[in-house]
Amino acid sequence: MLEENRLYNMDCLDGIRQVKTASVKAIITDPPYFQGLTQNGQRGDFSDLEITRPFWQQLAKQMGRVLTSDGEFYICMDWRGYAFYYPIFADYLPVKNVIVWNKMSGPGSFYSYVHEFVLYGTKDSTLKRGGSNVWEMRGYSSGSEQTDGPKLHYAQKPVALFQRMIEDSTQPGDLVLDCFAGSGTAAVAAIRTGRRWLAFENKASTYEKAASRIAHELEEAKAGHSEQTSLFDE
């Protein structure tokens, strides 16, 4: 049985199969945008994503299994992968909208690449969410390093982005799952908001960096709690 509030160095499909059915209130995850491989194992292009279709189908099915009856999910992706991922996840998960994250700046030779997509949905058929599906929030290319610290992963998202998802879709004590931990941002956001969390990262070098970051965040949270307790004791 997997322990909560822990990052595991393992394949997310192996990991999620060990997660209890209907135990996760929110899935917040940022899969690799580029998963295709050519037949000789070299870096491919986005047309090669078809090779990975069985993996994503199995993962989407497991995501639906572990979510609570009112669970919600946020799956990050870019414009190139959207056409591939959307129909796969929509076969197993109740997709409701696409959030457009405006990160305010970015690279690009054919207009600047300033936005990314987040596939959003919920199993709660009665839930309604107001507000715009366009979220403006600084990414690392536009200044989030000032608040999030050094960039540890090439695709690292700002804590504020995942924190908004967590606060919109969960209550303190709820369980948040991240299948592709990367730099550990979802875990950091969960710690800061008082949620339980569980995360998987398959690549050993990335796992080590994320584990170190999460450990530091836990120490900070512990120190902050001790400081608050001492103030009440005075």
How do the domains of the chain map onto residue ranges? 6-233
Structure confidence at residue 52 (pLDDT): 84
Res. 141 pLDDT band, cuts 50 70 90: low
- Using H for helix, E for strand and C for coil, what is the string for the chain? CCCCCEEECCCHHHHHCCCCCCCEEEEEECCCCCCCECCCCCECCHHHHHHHHHHHHHHHHHHHHHEEEEEEEEEEECHHHHHHHHHHHHHHCCEEEEEEEECCCCCCCCCCCCEEEEEEEECCCCCCCCCCCEEECCCHHHCCHHHHCCCCCCCCCCHHHHHHHHHHHCCCCCEEEECCCCCCHHHHHHHHCCCEEEEECCCHHHHHHHHHHHHHHHHHHHHHHHHHHHHHHC
Res. 34 pLDDT band, cuts 50 70 90: low
Q: Of the CATH numbers 3.40.50.150, 3.40.50.2300, 2.60.40.1080, 1.10.274.10, which one belongs to the domain with range 6-233? A: 3.40.50.150
Q: Taking all residues of the chain, what is their mean pLDDT, rounded to a whole number?
A: 87
Cα separation, 99 vs 121, whole angstroms:
10
Mean pLDDT along residues 209-230: 81
Mean pLDDT along residues 182-189: 95
Structure confidence at residue 159 (pLDDT): 93
Residue 181 has pLDDT above 50, yes or no: yes
Burial 40-73 (b: 16+ CB within 10 A, else e): eeeebeeebbeebeeebeebbebbbbbbbeebbb
Res. 179 pLDDT band, cuts 50 70 90: very high
Res. 148 pLDDT band, cuts 50 70 90: low
Percentage of residues of the chain with pLDDT beyond 70? 82
Give this prediction's pTM: 0.87
CB 10 within 8 A of CB 202: yes
Residue 119 has pLDDT above 50, yes or no: yes
